[in-house]
Amino acid sequence: MGRRTTNNLVGFMEEFILQTIRLPVPFLVLFGIGLCLWRKPAWSRRILGVTALALIVASLPAMGKLLMWPQLMTVPQWRPAPGDPTPAAVLVPTGGIFYALDVGWWPSDSSLERLGKALAVQAELKAAGRAEVPLLVVGGISKPAPAPAEADILLRRYPDAPASTIIETKARNTAETALAVRRILGQEREGPDASVVVVTDEYHAARMAASLRASGIVPLLRSTGEARLYGIAWNDFVPGAQGFGMTSHAIHSWAGLAWYLATDQFTLDDLLQGNPAPDSPKP
């Protein structure tokens, strides 16, 4: 089996696993099992009761925040400080595209948020007197043909990106994005570390940072929804669609980390190198 075939198979298995554990699929499976055991009322009631309780707990925003807290501890927010070396680039890993009728392909809200925040970070570095740091937008084809590359669609819908922007349209996932950054920067794992400012959402930050460390790149994280997952208020214990989405994203994020560790895309050391100082925010 060739390397390309193996990579495609691994990518298919990754997507299959991530989609299978995405809520509400596990609850639907449990519900189906409970219905199949209707001839055994005691077991059926137990399974249906557990399913109902799990649905309620999963719909609490507090659950999503608690699930994400360990990951947030490994990705402290970066701010430029006097004397710090200038980053080699501001990295925007794309976050998906979709097809809209009468409009065509369009970047996801996550992709647009990442690019908008990256441009703000670039301006912040320039205001601090740093040399112009190029924008690096990475995103290949993640959907079946004839879907275009995500990076092309993102910049097509956001035409005001700086002329120095570097576009990479072959990376299909987080691991390939890290390898693409290493290739573009001419960086080898054994060589001196280069740093990049990574602008992405909190659910993706830990996996992206660990993948970059495994490729010999130092990640400086700036999330798009700063503090969105920090702090728990009373209304985080009110069930709702928002809470269900947060829990689903958190489970998806943990499954991605587990898959990357299992397939040796990065090591546990790569994941934990970003442990912050004790004064980092907590839920």
My answer on whether 39 and 80 are in the same domain is: no
Regarding whether 215 and 76 lie in a shared domain, the answer is: yes
Q: Are 86 and 69 in contact (CB under 8 A)?
A: no
53 shares its domain with 121: no
54 with 85, same domain: the answer is no
Nearest to 150 by CA among 141, 158, 159: 141
Amino acid identity for residue 90 in this structure = V
* 280: in domain: no
The one-letter amino acid code at 140 reads: G
* CA angle in degrees (0–180, nearest 5) for 207-212-214: 95
For residue 227, name the pLDDT band (cuts at 50, 70, 90): low
Distance between CA 137 and CA 111 in Å, rounded?
10
- At 191-225, the pLDDT tens digits run 456 899 999 999 999 999 999 999 999 999 998 87
- Considering the domain architecture, whether residues 94 and 198 belong to the same structural domain is answered as yes
Residues 6+ apart with CB under 8 A from 154: 92, 94, 97, 107, 111, 112, 115, 137, 139
Query: Both 48 and 164 in a single domain?
Result: no
Q: What is the pLDDT of residues 89-138, one digit of tens each?
A: 999 999 999 988 888 899 999 999 999 999 999 988 888 877 788 999 99
* Same domain as 97, residue 12: no
- Residue 96: inside a domain, yes or no? yes
Residue 245 lies in a domain: no
In this prediction, residue 92 carries a pLDDT of 97
Cα(95)–Cα(113) distance, integer angstroms = 9
Domain that holds residue 11: 3-58
Cβ(198)–Cβ(212) under 8 Å? yes
Distance, in Å, from the CA atom of 248 to the CA atom of 19, rounded to the nearest integer, reads: 11
Query: Quick count: other Cβ atoms within 10 Å of Cβ 254?
Result: 18
The 10s digit of each residue's pLDDT in 32-89 is 766 677 777 777 778 778 877 888 888 899 999 999 999 988 888 888 887 788 899 9
* Number of domains observed in the structure of the chain: 2
